[in-house]
A and B are shown apart, each in its own frame.
Chain A
Amino acid sequence: MNNLFCAPLLAAGGSNSAIITFLVYIVGVMVLAWLSNRLLQSKSFLSEYFLGSRSLGVWAFALTFAATSASGGSFIGTPSLIYTHGWIVGLWIGSYMIVPIVSMGLLAKRINQVARKSGSITIPDVLRDRFESPVFGAIATALIVFFMVFNLIAQFKGGSVLLQTLLQDVPLFQDVSHGLAEALHGVPILGESEDKPGYLLCLLVFTVAVVVYTTYGGFRAVVWTDVMQGLVMLGGVILMLPLAIWAVGGLGSATREMAQMTPPNNVKLELTLTDPSNSTLNIPNNSWLVQDEGGTRRVFRTAARAQILPGEQTASYRVDKDSYSREIPGIELTYAKQVANATADDLGRAIQIRVLESKEYANGAGRPGVYVTGPGPDAKSAAGFLPFSLAVSFFFMWTFSGAGQPSNMVRLMAFNNSTTLRRSIFAVSIYYSMIYFPIVVIFCCARVLLPGWETESDRIMPEMARVTTALAGMPWLAGLLVAAPFAAVMSTMDSFLLMISSAVVRDIYQRNINPKASEKTIKRLTYAATIAVGTIAMLAAVSPPQFLQDIIVFTGSGLSTSFLAPVALMLYWPRFNRQGALAGMLGGFATHVTLYTVGTIMSGKVDAYEPFNFHPFMVGLFASFVIAISVTYLTSPPPEHLVRKYFYK
Chain B
Amino acid sequence: MPEPEPVARPEYDPTYLNSLRELYVIIGLFAVFCFWSIFVCYNYGYLSPGEQLGEVSTVLGMPSWAFWGIALPWLGVDVVAVWFCFFYMKTDDLGEAHEGEDLAEQVAHLHEGEEARGE
Contacts and interface: CB of A to CB of B under 8 A. Distances in A.
A372 B55 CA distance: 11
B48 to A, nearest CB: 10
A441 interface: yes
Contacts of A440: 70
Nearest to B42: A388
Contact of A368 (B18, B52, B73, B100): B52
Given A94-B70, A105-B22, A255-B56, A373 B89 contact: no
A418 to B, nearest CB: 5
A112 interface: yes
A369 B54 CA distance: 8
Given A367-B52, A369-B52, A391-B42, A94 B37 contact: yes
Contacts of A98: 29-30, 33-34, 77
Contacts of B100: 44, 47, 119
Contact of A437 (B45, B46, B71): B71
A447 interface: no
Given A250-B61, A515-B103, A374 B78 contact: no
Contacts of B26: 101-102, 105-106
A32 to B, nearest CB: 24
A421 B75 CA distance: 21
Contact of B23 (A125, A511, A572): A572
A636 interface: no
B94 A109 contact: yes
A483 interface: no
A381 interface: no
By CB atoms of chain B within 10 A, which of A105, A112, A254, A648 has the most?
A: A105
B101 A256 contact: no
Interface stretch (A83-91, A233-241, A343-351, A455-463): A83-91
Contact of B11 (A370, A516, A649): A649
B47 interface: yes
Interface stretch (A280-288, A298-306, A423-431, A605-613): A423-431
B28 to A, nearest CB: 11
Interface in B61-82: 61-63, 65-66, 69-71, 73-75, 77-78, 80-82
B85 A423 contact: yes
Interface residues of B, number: 66
B7 interface: no
Interface residues of A, number: 76
A490 to B, nearest CB: 27
Contacts of A572: 16, 19-20, 23
B13 interface: yes
Contacts of B89: 105, 418, 421-422, 425
B95 interface: yes
Interface string A246-264: 0000111111100100000
Contacts of B61: 245, 250-255
B99 A372 contact: no
Contact of A426 (B18, B69, B81): B81
Interface in A87-116: 87-88, 90-91, 94-95, 97-98, 100-102, 105-106, 109-110, 112-113, 115-116
B102 interface: yes
B34 to A, nearest CB: 5
Contact of B41 (A91, A426, A647): A91
A258 to B, nearest CB: 8
Report which residue of B29, B61, B86, B101 has the largest number of chain A beta carbons within 10 angstroms of its beta carbon.
B61
A250 B61 CA distance: 7
Contact of A110 (B10, B16, B84, B91): B16
Contacts of B107: 515-516
Chain B CB within 10 A, most for which of A112, A374, A440, A572: A374
Interface in A436-457: 437, 440-441
A429 B77 contact: yes
Interface in B1-33: 10-16, 18-20, 22-23, 26, 29-30, 33
B76 to A, nearest CB: 8
Contacts of B22: 105, 109
A87 B66 CA distance: 8
Contacts of B52: 367-369
B119 interface: no
A224 B62 CA distance: 37
A119 B101 contact: yes
A259 B53 contact: yes
A426 B85 contact: yes
A417 interface: yes
A117 B98 contact: yes
A214 to B, nearest CB: 22
A3 B61 CA distance: 40
Given A113-B15, A255-B58, A44 B99 contact: yes
Contacts of B16: 110, 113, 572, 647
Interface string A474-488: 000000000000000
B52 to A, nearest CB: 7
A64 interface: no
A418 B56 contact: no
17 contacts: A88-B45, A94-B70, A94-B74, A97-B37, A109-B19, A113-B92, A116-B95, A259-B53, A370-B53, A421-B89, A422-B89, A426-B82, A430-B81, A433-B74, A437-B71, A572-B19, A649-B11
Interface of B: 10-16, 18-20, 22-23, 26, 29-30, 33-34, 37-38, 41-42, 45-47, 52-53, 56, 58, 60-63, 65-66, 69-71, 73-75, 77-78, 80-82, 84-86, 89-103, 106-107, 110
Task: Return the 6 tightest CB-CB contacts between A and B, nearest first.
Answer: A369-B53, A251-B61, A119-B101, A252-B61, A374-B46, A259-B56
Interface of A: 44, 47, 54, 87-88, 90-91, 94-95, 97-98, 100-102, 105-106, 109-110, 112-113, 115-120, 125, 128-129, 245, 250-256, 259, 367-370, 372-375, 388, 391-392, 395-396, 399, 417-419, 421-423, 425-426, 429-430, 433, 437, 440-441, 510-511, 515-516, 571-572, 644, 647-649
Given A101-B26, A113-B16, A369-B47, 12 more contacts: A97-B70, A98-B77, A109-B19, A119-B99, A367-B47, A369-B52, A375-B47, A388-B38, A395-B38, A422-B86, A423-B85, A433-B74
